[in-house]
């Protein structure tokens, strides 16, 4: 499957460039049930077959408590990939939307979800947590920080959390969202549609739309932004691998933007 080969290529390149995986690592993949985290889980599971450094893999889903949500499809995928799967029940939905009635829930929700994920990973004996942020997420985060907070910054490719002694890695850093989406569709990954009341109505969605429109007018804009982040060594970014292969594909005739 060419889509899988493409995702594996991007994943291995990022893992190598930033030394994300070492021999003996036990890595928890935070599986939100969206396409990004499921693609990451699939890629890391496949990479175990040939990557020179041996590692263990488990999947963790933080169940936010949204009504009518099932993770049966993810459980079946984990069985297929031979990955241990854990669902951690929480009352995050009830706390944020029913008790606190937050008008801008995303920041608090993310903080609570991450706390549960990190603690669960630690309890399960993991030393690393892999998150499904991809190339476009990095650019959007950089621009959101610039537009709405007036600062230059982004999440880091690799972050050591000293308080809990965990290392956070983002192996999809070089994978454009389009490639992730195409792989998820081709592999028929069991994506669970979000039932979050705030889904699709956030500053990030606004930024995604703005960048898409600007990139149509100024082709290659996203790659120039990413390159600036690398050259400026923003929050641990660095120039390691050429992005030409990704850019050539993303700008090619298969573009769906």
pLDDT greater than 90 at residue 254: no
pLDDT band at 40 (very low <50, low <70, confident <90, very high): very high
| pLDDT (mean) for 70-94 | 94
pLDDT of residue 221: 94
pLDDT band at 162 (very low <50, low <70, confident <90, very high): very high
* Tens of pLDDT, residues 228-252: 999 999 999 998 866 665 665 565 5
Of the listed ranges 42-51, 65-74, 154-163, 218-227, the least confidently predicted one is 65-74
pLDDT of residue 70: 87
pLDDT of residue 248: 53
- List the domains of the chain with CATH numbers: 2-250 (3.40.50.620)
- C-beta separation of 189 from 35 below 8 A: yes
- Tell me the average pLDDT of the chain: 90
pLDDT band at 131 (very low <50, low <70, confident <90, very high): very high
Rounded to two decimals, what is the model's pTM?
0.91
């Amino acid at each position: 499957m060419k889509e899988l080969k493409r995702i594996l290529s991007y994943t291995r390149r990022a893992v190598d460039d930033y030394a994300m995986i070492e021999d003996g690592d036990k890595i928890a993949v935070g599986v939100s049930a969206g396409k990004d985290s499921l693609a990451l889980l699939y890629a890391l599971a496949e990479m175990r077959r040939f990557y020179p450094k041996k590692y263990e893999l488990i999947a963790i889903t933080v169940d936010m408590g949204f009504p009518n949500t099932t993770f049966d499809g993810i459980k079946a995928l984990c069985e297929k990939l031979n990955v241990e799967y854990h669902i951690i029940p929480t009352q995050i939905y009830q706390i944020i939307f029913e008790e606190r009635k937050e008008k801008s829930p995303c920041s608090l929700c993310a903080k609570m979800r991450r706390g549960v994920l990190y603690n669960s990973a630690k309890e399960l004996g993991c030393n690393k947590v892999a998150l499904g942020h991809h190339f476009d997420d990095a650019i959007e985060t950089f621009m959101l920080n610039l537009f709405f907070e007036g600062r230059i910054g982004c999440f880091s490719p690799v972050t050591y959390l000293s308080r809990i002694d965990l290392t956070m890695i983002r192996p999809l850093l070089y994978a454009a969202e389009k490639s992730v989406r195409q792989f998820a569709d081709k592999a028929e990954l069991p994506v669970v549609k979000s039932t979050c009341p705030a889904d699709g109505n956030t500053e990030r969605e606004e930024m995604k739309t703005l960048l898409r429109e600007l990139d149509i007018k100024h082709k290659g804009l996203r790659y120039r932004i990413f390159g600036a982040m690398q050259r400026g060594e923003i929050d641990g970014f660095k120039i390691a691998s050429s992005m030409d292969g990704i850019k050539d594909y993303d700008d090619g005739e298969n573009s769906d933007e």
